[in-house]
A and B are shown apart, each in its own frame.
Chain A
């Protein structure tokens, strides 16, 4: 199940938006890896964050709980969090668990960055 191996990378775009790309199984370890990436970006001053989940096909409620904690922390820091490239099932679980109420959900990175007021890397 190589496709479930978690890979997380981060970048900060020229206009300050932090992008976290995560692929693989978002369970407790996967969720924590994303949380650690968020922490690093916050320390670098980026409070508008986009989590790109292309490559993530399976997720569990423990992983989503950790994403909820990230969201709370970011809201407390007056930041913004958005997600893009979710599978329909992952998008549905985000809605059920309330994540979609506070975080933007977008079909792809370009749309998400536009909604976040970012010009991307251009």
Chain B
């Protein structure tokens, strides 16, 4: 029942990916809050891909997977840009209000906070962000 989307680089296209997460999450019986968290995380992954993915289309897959007996909604966002070092991305920390110029760059932090499992693989030519949100009991 997975959804695969090839997103062109047009404004607000990340909302298409969010809608796919919403539809699949609803079908899985996830809570509105969990669906919304997964949708926002997917939007952030798409924004990163739009910003750093060069001129290639973005590939988004939304599916349900089972890992060690647990079911997850899984969203994957793939681009073919220059790639980046995930370890070099700042983690969640103090507020960036007042005195700190860097108010941007929160995407990965939000993804990690909103999802249950996150894997980022990146090298020049391929970045793949895999995000999972648990479904139902046993979370």
Give the interface of A toward B (CB within 8 A): 1, 4, 25, 27, 57-62, 64-65, 68-69, 71-72, 75, 87-89, 92-93, 96-99, 101-102
B95 and A101 within 8 A (CB)? yes
Give the interface of B toward A (CB within 8 A): 12, 14-15, 18-19, 33, 36-37, 39-40, 43-44, 47, 92, 94-98, 103-104, 106-107, 109-110, 113-114
B97 and A65 within 8 A (CB)? no
Beta-carbon nearest neighbor of B48 in chain A: A61
For this complex, 23 residue pairs linking A to B, each with C-beta atoms less than 8 Å apart, are A25-B15, A58-B43, A59-B40, A60-B40, A60-B43, A60-B44, A61-B106, A65-B103, A65-B104, A72-B98, A75-B97, A75-B98, A89-B36, A89-B40, A93-B40, A93-B114, A96-B92, A96-B110, A97-B95, A98-B96, A101-B97, A102-B95, A102-B97
Given the known interface contacts A1-B15, A58-B36, the answer about A89 and B114 at a Cβ–Cβ threshold of 8 Å is: yes
- A interface, by DSSP: helix, strand, loop or mixed? helix
- On chain B, the residues within 8 Å of A99 by CB distance are 95, 97
- On chain A, the residues within 8 Å of B12 by CB distance are 4, 25, 27
Q: What separation, in Å, do the CA atoms of A58 and B104 have in the docked complex?
A: 18
Beta-carbon nearest neighbor of B38 in chain A: A89
Q: What separation, in Å, do the CA atoms of A88 and B113 have in the docked complex?
A: 13
Q: What separation, in Å, do the CA atoms of A69 and B101 have in the docked complex?
A: 10
Q: What separation, in Å, do the CA atoms of A27 and B109 have in the docked complex?
A: 17
Closest-CB distance, B36 to chain A (whole angstroms): 4
- On chain B, the residues within 8 Å of A75 by CB distance are 97-98
Beta-carbon nearest neighbor of A101 in chain B: B95
Which 3 A-B residue pairs are closest in the complex by CB-CB distance?
A98-B95, A61-B106, A89-B36
16 additional A-B pairs beyond A65-B103, A69-B103, A102-B97, beta carbons within 8 Å, are A1-B19, A25-B12, A25-B15, A58-B40, A60-B44, A65-B104, A68-B96, A72-B98, A89-B36, A89-B37, A92-B114, A93-B114, A96-B109, A97-B95, A98-B96, A101-B97
